Amino acid sequence: MKIILLGPPGAGKGTQAKSISRKYSIPHISTGDIFRQNISLSTELGKEAKKYIDKGQLVPDELTISIVKDRLLKDDCKKGFLLDGYPRTVKQAEALDGFLAEHGSRLNLALLIAVPREFILERMTGRRVCPSCGASYHIKFNPPQQEGICDVCGSTIIQREDDTPETVSNRLDIYDKQTQPLIDYYKDKNLLSVVDGTYSINNVFKQISERLDLIK
Ligand code: AP5
Ligand code: MG
């Protein structure tokens, strides 16, 4: 199973990816998570990525493509993978196709979680994440059992630095300009499947499972 998850910021890619990864036993690869881990460790990659992420801009293609290629070469990706937040430009999509073809492989599905813009701001401003283990919550739609505390590891949960209304607005504009064209890119290849991301987290996962069970 080689799948990519498409959708605007706040669509629920990370939330659904965790459940998909568990159910279908494939690694969840989020470029956003890789960049954030590097930022928290103050690596050179983290310092470079932070310049763009803080403004809601995309990290340059060359850097992002090489990170994903390195990750896909790891053993755990042999049986499949789930990419969350990659590709985000046509150049990244072409690089992924080329890389998979070189390895005698190809994508099975591009899953778009469709959520209109008017839903996004409430999701982003209510999101809380755990800085220690990466678990993600929403103060209204998916609260932790104890307010402000991560269910998984007990750390204090925080807001992501790029979840301010101004940065979210930039990220949405960039999604419209640079990432939306991928919808047609994958439609033309007959790989696109769209789920309605405006329903509850459980309902969206049910829609996704129905699609994935067909290619299992
Ligand atoms: P990234 O971390 O990928 O951010 P994003 O794409 O903007 O998406 P988010 O993580 O914000 O949203 P999500 O869809 O995962 O939603 P979530 O499940 O958390 O990227 C961050 C930055 O890194 C980019 O801006 C860019 O700078 C850089 N970057 C990353 N990849 C790159 C690439 N390929 N190329 C270049 N640069 C790159 O859900 C959001 C909230 O809603 C949560 O609180 C959740 O609990 C809640 N929620 C989820 N589903 C539902 C539901 N069905 N109903 C109600 N609430 C819900
Ligand atoms: Mg995410």
The token duo for 58 is 């995309």
At 79 the pLDDT is 87
Decide: 93 and 87 in contact? Cβ < 8 Å. Answer: yes
Digit-coded pLDDT (tens) for 18-76: 999 999 999 999 999 999 999 999 999 999 999 999 999 999 999 999 999 999 999 99
At 167 the pLDDT is 92
Once rounded to an integer, what is the mean pLDDT over residues 78-103? 97
Q: What is the DSSP string of 65-123?
A: HHHHHHHHTSGGGTT-EEEES---SHHHHHHHHHHHHHTT----EEEEEE--HHHHHHH
At 112 the pLDDT is 98
Residues near 152 by beta carbon (within 8 Å), at least 6 away in sequence: 130, 133, 135
Would the pLDDT of 216 be above 80?
Answer: no
pLDDT grade for 152, boundaries at 50, 70 and 90: very high
Q: How far apart are the first and last CA of the chain?
A: 7
Ligand 1 pocket test: pick from 20, 35, 160 the residue with the most ligand atoms within 8 Å of its Cβ.
35
Give, using CA atoms, the residue closest to atom 6 of ligand 1. Answer: 9
At 215 the pLDDT is 85
Q: Which residues are catalytic?
A: 13, 88, 127, 160, 171
Would the pLDDT of 10 be above 90?
Answer: yes
Once rounded to an integer, what is the mean pLDDT over residues 165-194? 96
Ligand 1 pocket test: pick from 58, 71, 158 the residue with the most ligand atoms within 8 Å of its Cβ.
58
Residue type, position 188, single letter = D
SS3 164: coil
Q: Which domains does the chain have, with CATH numbers?
A: 2-116+171-215 (3.40.50.300)
